[in-house]
Amino acid sequence: MSPEVFVDVLRDALFIVILLVSAMILPSLFVGLIVAVFQAATSINEQTLSFLPRLIVTLLALMFGGHWFVRVIMEYTHDLFLSIPNVVS
């Protein structure tokens, strides 16, 4: 396997990881920011108030985006298996 092929495979894998993780983390980040602004405005410093909404939003993102996550991973794996003859030769 040439170094260029290895770099291409690694680049594609890292792109997919970043894409899937950001699809789960960004909604939680926005909700956490909104809750933090609410806590700062009301001087409420309850830890569960910041944790629970982020947890719920992350779980909802997994529920609604789960099919897409699995499809992206399966397409990448399928393409990776199909590229084995090109990589070996």
pLDDT averages per 10-residue partition of the chain, 89 residues:
83 95 94 91 84 93 94 95 83
**Domain positions in the chain:** 12-83
The phi and psi torsions of 77 (rounded to 5 degrees) equal -65, -40
Question: What is the pLDDT, as a whole number, of residue 34?
Answer: 94
Supply the pLDDT for residue 84: 86
Q: Write down the pTM of the prediction.
A: 0.78
